[in-house]
């Protein structure tokens, strides 16, 4: 029932937004295409109504809406239209404020000549052009950004790193969100790019799915190709537990069964899923500890399943320790305070919000206002945190600025 209420509220807000924007749209139609006014007005309403019907129809009649391409594209385009129209609304509200101020001024002066204060074509046109730019950018981010994998190379200088692990190469990916993928060929290309780096070990830092383990069924064969001489190591992210889905599903699968199937997927692929535990890599008689914890967040709205004390207990006497933990807030909330012997933590979760400015000299995304450490490499008191930009996408099926990432680390002695 709560989902229905949320959907109805969204429809009412969307309709109210559409009615408001339509006033500016009609102004531009009268100016730019007066002979096609009726046709263009019908088209304005036909597009969102058609998209909504496709979404509702898919949800009602598709056996698995989360894997349906019609659902993905319809909801993505509708979301893009919503954002674009919201941008336009900002300019229209500004225009209405100006008109109200002018109207108030007229009444104060006692003007009663009946002159109408019309909408400013400049402000409304500027808003429309900016809204169109936003919508076009979002479509470009889907077509060109979603699977435009980028390899980031970083050196990690660890104190007392054994000579045997000098130059040891680790590839990290995070946040696959396989339920959102719309291009198998794109995913295959990304997996091959990881293998081309010839890493000694591979880290996966959580969120293999959006909610349901079945989302990964069609991609299991592709990801099973990931292998490295010292193994593939993984942890769970907040989405992997199925906390955002109402169980049991249509087939009677429970939340516990869903999570177990997800674990089985990783075991079948030969991945080392670390559930508050650790593994020790040995090379030429030297050791390197890999710790992995379940999701642990410093934010109240995300779960704290992780138990770092359990993962740490078995490797306390090993000099160098690398931690896999999905949520970067774990680093400042617990790792820096209580575990100074952990050399580096590898995380994901933020995706760089899949939108922003990502250059060598400047990085910005709205997610930075929620997470102090939200992308790339951080260092404090000789301890590192790396926040991966993510391999997949969630919600918006594209990326603008923050492209999907494959990180390659090379270990060196500090």
Strands 321-324 and 286-292, by their bridges, are parallel
Tokens 């500090």 sit at which residue?
A: 414
CA 362/CA 410 separation, integer angstroms? 24
Where helices occur in 180-254 by DSSP H, the ranges are 184-196, 220-223
Q: Would you state the pLDDT for residue 111?
A: 55
Which helix (H) or strand (E) covers residue 127, if one does? helix 121-140
Walk along the chain (414 residues) and give the pLDDT tens digit of each residue: 566 787 788 778 888 888 999 988 988 888 888 888 899 999 999 999 999 899 888 888 887 776 777 888 888 888 889 899 999 999 888 888 887 877 666 555 555 454 555 667 788 888 899 999 999 999 999 999 999 999 999 999 999 999 999 999 999 999 999 999 999 999 999 999 999 999 999 999 999 999 999 999 999 999 999 999 999 999 999 999 999 998 998 889 999 999 999 999 999 999 999 999 999 999 999 999 999 999 999 999 999 999 999 999 989 999 999 999 999 999 999 999 999 999 999 999 999 999 999 999 999 999 999 999 999 999 999 999 999 999 999 989 999 999 999 999 999 999
Rounded CA-CA distance 59/290 in Å is 42
The total number of residues shown for the chain amounts to: 414
CB neighbour list of residue 90: distance below 8 Å, 6 or more residues apart: 127
In degrees and rounded to multiples of 5, residue 111 shows phi and psi of -70, 125
User: What is the torsional sign of CA 332, 337, 338, 343?
Assistant: positive
Q: How many CB atoms lie within 10 A of CB 100?
A: 11
Task: Tell me the chain's radius of gyration from C-alpha atoms.
Answer: 26
CB burial class (10 A; 0-12, 13-18, 19+) of residue 105?
exposed
Tally the C-alpha atoms within 13 A of residue 203's C-alpha that lie toward its C-beta: 29
At residue 267, φ and ψ (nearest 5 deg) are -65, -40
For 406, the token pair is 């494959």
**Hey, what are 20's tokens?**
């408001």
Instruction: Supply the pTM of this predicted model.
Output: 0.88
Provide the pLDDT for residue 64. 74
Tell whether omega for the bond before 282 is within 30 degrees of 0, i.e. cis.
no
CA separation for the pair 315, 308 (Å, rounded): 11
Q: Residue 113 CA to chain centroid, in angstroms? A: 56
> Under a CB-based contact definition with an 8 Å cutoff, are residues 231 and 203 in contact?
no
Under a CB-based contact definition with an 8 Å cutoff, are residues 25 and 117 in contact? no
**The pLDDT value given to residue 73:** 84
């Amino acid at each position: 029932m709560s989902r229905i209420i949320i959907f109805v509220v969204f429809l009412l807000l969307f309709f109210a937004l559409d009615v408001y924007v339509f006033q500016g749209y009609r102004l531009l139609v009268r100016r730019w295409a007066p002979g096609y006014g009726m046709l263009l007005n019908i088209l304005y309403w036909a597009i969102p109504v058609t998209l909504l019907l496709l979404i509702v129809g898919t949800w009602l009649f598709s056996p698995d809406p989360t894997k349906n391409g019609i659902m993905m594209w319809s909801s993505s385009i509708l979301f893009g239209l919503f954002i674009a129209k919201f941008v336009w609304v900002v300019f229209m509200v500004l225009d209405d404020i100006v008109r109200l101020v002018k109207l108030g001024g007229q009444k104060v002066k006692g003007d009663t000549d009946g002159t109408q204060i019309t909408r400013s074509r400049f402000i409304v046109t500027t808003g429309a052009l900016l809204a169109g730019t936003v919508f076009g950018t979002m479509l470009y981010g889907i077509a060109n950004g979603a699977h435009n994998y980028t390899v980031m190379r970083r050196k990690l200088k660890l104190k007392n790193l054994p000579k045997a692990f000098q130059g040891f190469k680790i590839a990290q990916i995070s946040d696959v969100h396989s339920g959102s993928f719309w291009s198998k060929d794109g995913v295959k290309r990304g997996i091959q790019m990881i293998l081309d780096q010839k890493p000694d070990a591979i880290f996966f830092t959580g969120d293999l799915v959006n909610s349901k383990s079945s989302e990964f069924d069609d991609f299991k064969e592709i990801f099973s190709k990931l292998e490295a001489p010292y193994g593939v190591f993984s942890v769970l992210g907040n989405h992997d537990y199925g906390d955002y889905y109402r169980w049991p599903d249509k087939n009677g699968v429970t939340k516990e069964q869903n999570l177990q199937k997800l674990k089985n997927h990783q075991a079948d692929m030969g991945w080392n899923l670390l559930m508050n535990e650790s593994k020790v890599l040995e090379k030429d008689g030297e050791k390197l500890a890999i710790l992995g914890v379940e999701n642990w967040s410093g934010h109240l709205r995300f779960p704290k399943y992780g138990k770092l004390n359990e993962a740490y207990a078995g490797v306390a006497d090993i000099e160098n320790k690398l931690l896999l933990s999905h949520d970067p807030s774990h680093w400042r909330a617990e790792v820096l305070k209580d575990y100074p012997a952990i050399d580096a933590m590898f995380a994901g979760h933020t995706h760089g919000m899949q939108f922003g400015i990502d250059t060598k000299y400047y990085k910005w995304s709205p997610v930075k206002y929620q997470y102090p450490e939200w992308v790339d490499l951080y260092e404090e008191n000789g301890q590192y945190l790396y926040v991966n930009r993510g391999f997949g996408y969630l919600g918006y099926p594209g990326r603008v600025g923050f492209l999907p990432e494959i990180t390659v680390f090379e270990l060196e002695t500090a």
